[in-house]
Amino acid sequence: MKILGIETSCDETAASIVEDGQTILSNVVVSQIDIFAEYGGVIPEVAARSHLEVMMPVVDKALSDANCSWDDIDAIAVTYAPGLLGSLLIGTLTARTLAVLHEKPLYAVHHLKSHIYANWLSGAEPIFPLLALVVSGGHTQILYMPEHDNFKIIGTTNDDAVGECFDKVAKVLGLPYPGGPAIAKAAENGDAHKYRLPHPKVEGLNFSFSGLKTAVLRAIQKEVGVPISYPSHQLKDLLSKQQVADFAASFQKTAVDILCEKIQAALELYPETQSVVVAGGVSANKALREALPEAYFPTPRLSGDNGAMVAAACHYEIQSGVKPVDPYSLNIYPRISIEK
């Protein structure tokens, strides 16, 4: 079974064809990073317009790279939520139109579920029951998965997502957008033990990252000797390259340690767990990969947003009995919860 997966939830326009939930026949991703690096973050209106420009060329390339015609495609899967509304609209309207035009069943897939299923695309078969650590720009969650397509959220962030925290700390340090890869790169030359940053005290399996972001800000202010009222966007001018590297390394280590502590706590609460899978953009982080050597991670090119993970998640939805949606009435707002 060949599924065309379409993903436009944020700043990547992506389409991919995946066979039987595991074999990637094509994977086309057009990133808008170059546009948003200039602004230091995503501008939703610009993102939506950029999706519109490249959406159909991306779908056509996914078909031609896979050597497929429309006759070969069994279903269309599209990200319906969560994400930027204008961006989601382009992907879902495209998928709806293509489903009507080519008479294909249409599946609306949750973005975080897709990230989790990127782990099945790397040729791996994580064993159930499993714990999924979802770490992206918008979410930080731990989910318990007793079987395919069955999710229970057991931990979530009370405020910022960990990826968002990487992006905000990078901005203060004067590093480019997206902040995650930039922090990871700067951290390579830094001392992770140089600055001691606190771990938030959050009950149970929940997270909090806004305190860590503020802790980094205060530590920088202290290091360069300015009051807390000093404009944060000017701090970068007072930091040496080595100080930036040390702050990046210390912050990254703290963020990774917090994630590992919570996974450890979750494993204690769910001792029947057979495997841990990590998903979402932050799963590309090398320090996190090294800190969780037993866990499953997507291959790095599938950590960020892509269409292959959408097609893979759709495959397991179909296997679990999920029915297609009506392309004329697809509602892009969150209709179904990832918890089911």
Residues binding ligand KG4 (CB under 6 A): 10, 115, 136-138, 163-164, 166-167, 178-181, 184, 280-282, 284-285, 304-305
Q: Which is nearer to ligand KG4, 96 or 168 (CB)?
A: 168
**Per the structure block, which two tokens stand in for 272?**
């029947």
| CA-to-CA dists, residue 167 to 72, 135, 178, angstroms | 41, 13, 6
Cβ atoms < 10 Å from Cβ of 228: 10
- Looking at the Cβ atoms of 164 and 317, the one nearer to Zn ion is 164
C-beta of residue 296 within 8 angstroms of C-beta of residue 275: yes
**Binder to Zn ion among 12, 164, 246, 305 (CB under 5 A)?**
305
Minimum Å gap between C-beta 305 and Zn ion is 4
**Residue 303 and residue 283 in contact, taking contact as beta carbons nearer than 8 Å:** yes
Residue 178 interacts, among Zn ion, ligand KG4, none and using kind-specific CB cut-offs from 5 to 8 Å, with ligand KG4
Binding partner of 155, given ligand KG4, Zn ion, none, CB within 5-8 angstroms per partner class: none
Q: Of the two residues 211 and 298, which places its CB atom closer to Zn ion in the complex?
A: 298
What are the Cα distances from residue 285, in Å, to 159, 289, 295, 299? 21, 6, 13, 11
Shortest Å, Cβ 112 to ligand KG4: 8
CB contact at 8 A, 18 and 89: no
Under rule CB under 5 A, which residues in 109-138 are in contact with Zn ion?
136
Closest by CA to 106, choosing from 132, 63, 135, 74, is 74
Residue 298 partner contact from ligand KG4, Zn ion, none using kind-dependent CB cut-offs of 5 to 8 Å: none
What Cα–Cα distance (Å) separates residue 137 from each residue in 129, 203, 278? 26, 22, 14
Q: How far is the CB of 56 from ligand KG4 (least distance, A)?
A: 22
* Shortest spacing between CB 310 and ligand KG4, in angstroms: 12
Contact 205, 140 (CB under 8 A): no
Look at the chain and count its residues: 340
Cβ proximity to ligand KG4: between 85 and 228 the closer is 85
Q: Are 14 and 54 in contact (CB under 8 A)?
A: no
- 79 binds Zn ion, rule: CB under 5 A: no
Binding site partner of 126, from Zn ion, ligand KG4, none, Cβ cut-off 5-8 A by kind: none
Least distance (Å) from ligand KG4 to the CB of residue 279?
Answer: 8
C-beta closer to Zn ion: residue 21 or 83? 83
**What is each CA distance from 334 to 214, 291, 331, in whole angstroms?**
31, 34, 8
Query: For residues 128 and 5, what is the distance between their CA atoms, to the nearest angstrom?
Result: 25
Q: Does 140 bind Zn ion (CB under 5 A)?
A: no
Residue 10 or residue 48: which is nearer to ligand KG4 going by CB? 10
Output 87 or 136, the one with its CB closest to Zn ion.
136
Name which of Zn ion, ligand KG4, none residue 138 binds, using a CB cut-off of 5 to 8 Å depending on partner kind.
Answer: ligand KG4
Residues in contact with Zn ion by the rule CB under 5 A: 136, 305
